[in-house]
Chains A and B, each alone.
Chain A
Amino acid sequence: DAGITQSPRHKVTETGTPVTLRCHQTENHRYMYWYRQDPGHGLRLIHYSYGVKDTDKGEVSDGYSVSRSKTEDFLLTLESATSSQTSVYFCAISEHRDRARKLFFGSGTQLSVL
């Protein structure tokens, strides 16, 4: 299994509070992604990174920011959490940029915003 660790695995927070989710990899892969998974939707891309300090927005980036100061860590921050951000968040990594590349996923973070 690819070495990807997400933390925390579960979090309950209140509306308006900041939240940071962490993704840590030991594979030295260049590309890292944050997805959210909601009932009735496929996985949707929030942000991704193509290198240290290089990030870009995905299709559902509003209300989220990311940072990547080291190859192995990709942080997702909800500056002021809202109930619509209650979701399961997955981090993924890949070695190549090409869309025909294999993705490896973390175990997910269940976030509940009350």
Chain B
Amino acid sequence: KNEVEQSPQNLTAQEGEFITINCSYSVGISALHWLQQHPGGGIVSLFMLSSGKKKHGRLIATINIQEKHSSLHITASHPRDSAVYICAVPNYGGSQGNLIFGKGTKLSVKP
């Protein structure tokens, strides 16, 4: 079973700061997901990546397959970025199509 660890658990930043959230996993994967859960509870898929880097607006996701590690970066952070960020990886050997989700990183960006 794949294990997923996210760090930090909680993160408080000032508006404009550069933010990094980390995700490590134990078993080699085909792709990793980054999700955002808004304070109201809704969950949105941000990225799905299997190698290298992906960028969407101020969000950048990177993955190092050899080191089994991914990072989510937010440039020029804004209070509207306040949310819980979750990474997820495939659970090989588990239910078909299942993902294992990290516990999330709660980000709070202060104005």
Contact = CB atoms under 8 A, between A and B. Distances in A.
Interface of A: 31, 33, 40-45, 48, 50, 56-59, 88, 90, 94, 97-105, 107-108
B66 interface: no
A97 B30 CA distance: 13
B101 interface: yes
A108 B37 CA distance: 11
Interface residues of B, number: 28
Contacts of B31: 99-100
The 10 residue pairs across chains A and B that have the minimum distance between CB atoms: A42-B101, A100-B31, A99-B90, A105-B43, A43-B101, A108-B41, A100-B30, A58-B95, A45-B98, A42-B103
Contacts of B43: 90, 105, 108
B59 interface: no
A101 B103 CA distance: 20
Given A88-B41, A99-B31, A57 B95 contact: yes
B48 A100 contact: yes
B45 interface: yes
Interface in B51-70: none
A79 B7 CA distance: 38
Interface string B21-35: 000000001110101
Nearest to B1: A59
B99 A99 contact: yes
A89 to B, nearest CB: 11
Contacts of A104: 45
Nearest to B102: A42
Contacts of A97: 96-97
Contacts of A99: 29-31, 90-91, 97-99
Contacts of B91: 59, 99
B44 interface: yes
B4 A107 contact: no
Q: Of residues A58, A88, A100, which shows the largest number of chain B Cβ atoms within 10 Å of its Cβ?
A: A100
A94 B103 CA distance: 22
Given A50-B97, A102-B45, 16 more contacts: A31-B97, A33-B97, A42-B88, A50-B96, A59-B91, A88-B41, A90-B43, A97-B96, A98-B97, A99-B97, A99-B98, A99-B99, A100-B30, A101-B48, A104-B45, A107-B41
